[in-house]
Structure 1
Amino acid sequence: MELRALLLLLLCFPGFQAQILRTEETRSEGSSLYIQCPYTAQTTHQQQKAWCRLRNRQCEPLVVTKEYSHTNWATKGRVALKDNPTERTVSVTMTELQAEDSGTYFCAYYSYGYHQLRMISLFVFKELHKWELDSVSVQCLPSTLNYSLGTKVWCRREDETLCSVIVRTDYSSTQHNSKALEDRTLIQDDTQKRTVTITMQKLQAEDSGMYWCALYRRSYLTWLTEVRLSVFKRTKQYTAKESGDVSVQCPYSAPEYRAVSKAWCKEGARKSCTVLVTTNSLEYQRTPQQGRVRIQDDTEQGIVTVTMERLQAQDTGVYWCALYEHAHLFRMLEVTLNVSEVLAGTTLPGAASTSQATPAANSPAPSSNGNTFILLSGILSILFLLALISLVTLYVRRCKQLNATAHSKGNRDGEDTCEKPGNTAQPESYERLRSPRDNSKDLKYVTLNFKSQLSPEDPLYCNVELSEVHRKPKDENVEYATIAVKQLTTNDKG
């Protein structure tokens, strides 16, 4: 029953049908939009298809296909349209979108007027990226509406339904001594050029968000331009040693902020920042860092230099280099400082991405000297014992080698001695028998003299080393000789 009622409404009230088919599309500047619009069988491909922009409740055609033509596509500027009769759809592409392209569009076919196929609410937003202390300027072009109607406002979107008004054209914009966003925002209405210009100054990271330029009429906001703003902090990290120093440089725009006081503060709870020192000599701060923090402002170069001396472990934290204007801080640079305790005899290595402070030259404590002396004495004692053990070991090895050499030599001398068994008499002299080492075949002679008298029957022995004998004697003539010992008479002895 409900479905039949819905179909009856669509047939009887085509305006209701258009409302049902209306959709919203959001794009960033520079992007593209692609949509498809289906049509029914009653709409033939020979009928003109168009992409219209709704102005004053009328269709303003941007691109139209030709009637009764075989060509089913058309382009104009940044818009292309194509009719697909097989699938009964019209495809539309818009490229390089700009903020002024925001508005209401619809696909249509022509039959004694343009009839809507699908309605699109297009929102093209500006996407801006800024650094802290930068300024941003936005122009709103309310050309689609009656410019004289309503008040122009600049509001910040809190959620889907709430947009908090920051400034408006029916109120005069004045600068106040406040950090509030509305006191840093100006709105200018140029009635001749029919434009509204919004300027935001001294941007901070907390200013990031979505903003609308809109018409305010009869308690309702009519959207004109959307801006998505992202504000980034400038940050640095420093690592220092206890009792050392650290120096930080903070650049700023000299023409804009040369005359403004600068401050160095430490961030605490709830993102509040306690001022430690300022460039204004009239400002006197009582802090634990009093006397250890110095600040200098080079107004020509636009650089603030902050030096912290004799660092302590409790100095670790987050600091701001900021503009100090009417007791309000506007962050220029956020610094994260890590102060490490230094152990005796150790140093803190510096990282490539951090700045290493130079520590002050302090003499070591007496306990540190005593520990160092004991450590060095123990190392030297161990080295001396190792050297002594090595010398003793070498001496023992040398003695063993000498004894082995002497013993070997004595054995060899005994093996070369020729003696007669059973007789204690030793030859008066002897020569070691060696085989010739050259190729000469000359006969070698040996003369043996004995003190004792030998009988002809007593044999004679001679020990010859095995190494002195050829293992494989060559075939050669061998001559044998018999040595006989003749008993000498008394007359022959002399």
Structure 2
Amino acid sequence: MELRVLLLLLLCFPGLQAQIPDAEERQLEGSTLYIHCPYTAYAEHEHQKAWCRTGERRCEPLVETTYPTQSPYINQARRGKVTLEDDPVRKTVSITMTNLQAEDSGTYYCAYRSYSYRYLPLKIISLNVFKELHKWELDSFSVQCKYSALVRSTDIKVWCRRGQTACKIWLRTDDPSTRTNSKDLADRGLIQDDTHERTVTITMEKLQAQDTGVYWCALYRDFRPTRIMEVRLSVSKRTQQYTAKKSGNVSVQCAYSAPDYGAVSKAWCKEGDDRKACTILVTTNSKPSGYGRTPQEGRVTIQDDTQQGIVTITMEKLQAQDSGVYWCALYEHGQLLRMVEVMLSISEILAGTTLSGTAGTSQATPSGDAPALSSNVNTFVILSGVLSIVFILALISLITLCVRRRKQLKRRGNRQAEHTYDKPEDIAQLDSTERMESPKDDSKDLKYVTLNFKSRPIPEDPLYCNIEPSQAHRKPKDEDVEYAIIALKQLPTNDKG
């Protein structure tokens, strides 16, 4: 019943065909569309199937079967990038459109051909093929919108930004004196209509992150825009991140296209807490109107190398309140257009410089403090000092050991020369000692000494030595040798000196 009512409406009022879609399909350029249209038994055998694109009042078939489907075989037709398959078993027409482009946007329907050779819709589709653009700040883009031959050359074409309830017009072809009626796009947008090629060209320059959004190239009829093509624009910021030491300096470099912006004034400004305004601190030309005194005045300098396309900002004697978000920006016509966003953090003690960002981040090292190099030098000095102290202590310990060892050896030699052992079966420790006296009579061969030892219970193997009594005072002509037999293990020394 509903299908019959819809068919009657479409037949009696063909202009309603584009106003009553059964479904809306949104597809990115280059993607593929798949549509399935079921039908009743009435259209099963005796009718041809087609995929149409609607014009003002009629169906323009893109592809259709050449003969009615004979069950149970699938009837297939193909033309260009569109394929149609009619499956009588499932009673379904399937359409495939590949490599979609923005100009494919429009209203389509699956249809069967009646006995009166009119195309009757099975399912109406509103197809929106959109462009997707990814840009950086200060980039430009240009898009072309092709419109139908049914569109008059005198029709107004517009470029509008899609909101929740309406599309706000930014550019229009009937207002050539002003390139834009939007303050946000002052001198940054242009629309041109080539009526011979039936193409509208939109150009946007000096893009900013706030330009991100959904746009329509549209016809302006009945005081409202009707979409020709949709563009989804994404604009990303270039960012730098710095950490600097309090009372130190920091230097920031921002690159730009020298041919495009070399002659434009540059500015350095600081964002407010609300992130809605940026207070100008310094510019490359004379002070702008309304330029007030700031806490950074006298501590900020700016230099612009228009040949290389690099603007350099230096901030000196940094304070804690200098932390915040800054812009390197173009400054023209009293407006700021951000080139690079800089996030600056001021710390009491700087352990190192943080430099980070996402794709598109401009990487530069602050030249004011060179904190990373300073950190490496400090580490090297500390390590060298520790190693020097360790070396000196090791040298002192070695010398001390050598002196002590020499004294031990000297005392041990004297004791072995002065003592004899009385009982070979015992380990003895000297209890009392009688020194050998100097011989008064050189004619005697031997001298005897009696020694008393404390005996130790552990027997040890005897140790034999032949020594010369160097302690005995003799004349050089006396070459007689005195012998002593000592049987003991090396006695433990009692170091007192």
Shared fold (TM-score, shorter chain, > 0.5): yes
Instruction: For residue 330 of structure 1, report the CA deviation from its aligned partner.
Output: 0.6
| Aligned match for 1:79, one of 73, 79, 82 | 82
Equivalent pairs, count: 396
Q: Note if contact 1:50-1:107 (Cα within 8 Å) is conserved in structure 2.
A: yes
Q: Secondary structure at the match of 1:223?
A: strand
Q: Which residues in structure 2 correspond to 1:287-326 (within 5 Å)?
A: 287-326=294-333
Which residue is 2:126 aligned to? 121
Alignment partners' CA distance in 1, 2:53 and 2:370 = 73
Q: Which residues in structure 2 correspond to 1:444-483 (within 5 Å)?
A: none
Which residue is 2:104 aligned to? 101
Which residue is 2:160 aligned to? 155
Q: Note if contact 1:245-1:310 (Cα within 8 Å) is conserved in structure 2.
A: yes
Question: 1:175–1:104: structure 2 CA closer, same or farther, 3 Å change rule?
Answer: closer
Q: Which runs of 5+ in 1 are unaligned?
A: 1-7, 362-375, 418-427, 436-464, 468-494
Per-residue Cα deviation, 1:365-409 (whole angstroms, up to 9, x for no partner): xxxxxxxxxxx9xxx9xx99xx99x979x979x98xx99xx89x9
Which residue is 2:424 aligned to? 415
In the alignment, does 2:212 pair up with 1:208?
Answer: yes
In the alignment, does 2:269 pair up with 1:269?
Answer: no
Alignment partners' CA distance in 2, 1:108 and 1:178 = 44
Per-residue Cα deviation, 1:10-55 (whole angstroms, up to 9, x for no partner): 4455245988771111111111111111111222256422111112
Q: Which residues in structure 2 correspond to 1:149-298 (within 5 Å)?
A: 150-159=155-164, 161-174=165-178, 179-181=183-185, 183-271=187-275, 272-281=277-286, 283=288, 286-298=293-305
Two-structure CA RMSD over aligned residues (Å): 4.2
Aligned amino acid, residue 147 of structure 2: P
Aligned amino acid, residue 307 of structure 1: T
Which residue is 1:25 aligned to? 25
In the alignment, does 2:103 pair up with 1:110?
Answer: no
Q: Note if contact 1:128-1:227 (Cα within 8 Å) is conserved in structure 2.
A: yes
Instruction: For residue 165 of structure 1, report the CA deviation from its aligned partner.
Output: 1.4
Question: 1:196–1:309: structure 2 CA closer, same or farther, 3 Å change rule?
Answer: same
Which residue is 2:483 aligned to? none
Which residue is 2:42 aligned to? 42
Q: Which moved more, 1:102-111 or 1:59-68?
A: 59-68
Per-residue Cα deviation, 1:420-479 (whole angstroms, up to 9, x for no partner): xxxxxxxx999xxx99xxxxxxxxxxxxxxxxxxxxxxxxxxxxx9x9xxxxxxxxxxxx
Aligned amino acid, residue 369 of structure 2: P
Which residue is 1:359 aligned to? 369
Q: Which moved more, 1:174-183 or 1:40-49?
A: 174-183
Q: Secondary structure at the match of 2:274?
A: helix
Aligned amino acid, residue 14 of structure 1: L
Aligned amino acid, residue 308 of structure 2: Q
Q: Note if contact 2:20-2:124 (Cα within 8 Å) is conserved in structure 1.
A: no
Question: 1:53–1:144: structure 2 CA closer, same or farther, 3 Å change rule?
Answer: farther
Q: Secondary structure at the match of 2:423?
A: helix
Aligned amino acid, residue 131 of structure 2: K
Q: Note if contact 1:234-1:334 (Cα within 8 Å) is conserved in structure 2.
A: yes
Alignment partners' CA distance in 1, 2:191 and 2:213 = 18
Q: Note if contact 2:21-2:126 (Cα within 8 Å) is conserved in structure 1.
A: no
TM-score for both structures, normalised by structure 1: 0.69
TM-score for both structures, normalised by structure 2: 0.68
Which residue is 1:482 aligned to? none
Aligned amino acid, residue 279 of structure 1: T
Alignment partners' CA distance in 2, 1:176 and 1:211 = 15
Q: Which moved more, 1:84-93 or 1:70-79?
A: 70-79
Per-residue Cα deviation, 1:157-206 (whole angstroms, up to 9, x for no partner): 111x3111112222224358995225532222222222222222221111
Which residue is 1:474 aligned to? none
Question: 1:44–1:81: structure 2 CA closer, same or farther, 3 Å change rule?
Answer: same
Alignment partners' CA distance in 2, 1:219 and 1:175 = 20
Q: Which moved more, 1:216-225 or 1:180-189?
A: 180-189
Q: Which moved more, 1:330-339 or 1:244-253?
A: 244-253
Instruction: For residue 220 of structure 1, report the CA deviation from its aligned partner.
Output: 3.1
Q: Which residues in structure 2 correspond to 1:120-139 (within 5 Å)?
A: 120-139=125-144
Alignment partners' CA distance in 2, 1:165 and 1:177 = 8
Alignment partners' CA distance in 1, 2:131 and 2:266 = 33
Q: Note if contact 2:240-2:355 (Cα within 8 Å) is conserved in structure 1.
A: no
Instruction: For residue 107 of structure 1, report the CA deviation from its aligned partner.
Output: 0.8
Q: Secondary structure at the match of 1:269?
A: coil
Which residue is 1:327 aligned to? 334
Instruction: For residue 414 of structure 1, report the CA deviation from its aligned partner.
Output: 0.8
Alignment partners' CA distance in 2, 1:184 and 1:144 = 30
Aligned amino acid, residue 140 of structure 2: S
Question: 1:66–1:220: structure 2 CA closer, same or farther, 3 Å change rule?
Answer: same
Instruction: For residue 221 of structure 1, report the CA deviation from its aligned partner.
Output: 2.4
Instruction: For residue 208 of structure 1, report the CA deviation from its aligned partner.
Output: 0.7
Aligned amino acid, residue 214 of structure 1: A
Instruction: For residue 319 of structure 1, report the CA deviation from its aligned partner.
Output: 0.7
Q: Note if contact 1:147-1:194 (Cα within 8 Å) is conserved in structure 2.
A: no
Aligned amino acid, residue 142 of structure 1: Y
Alignment partners' CA distance in 1, 2:106 and 2:54 = 8
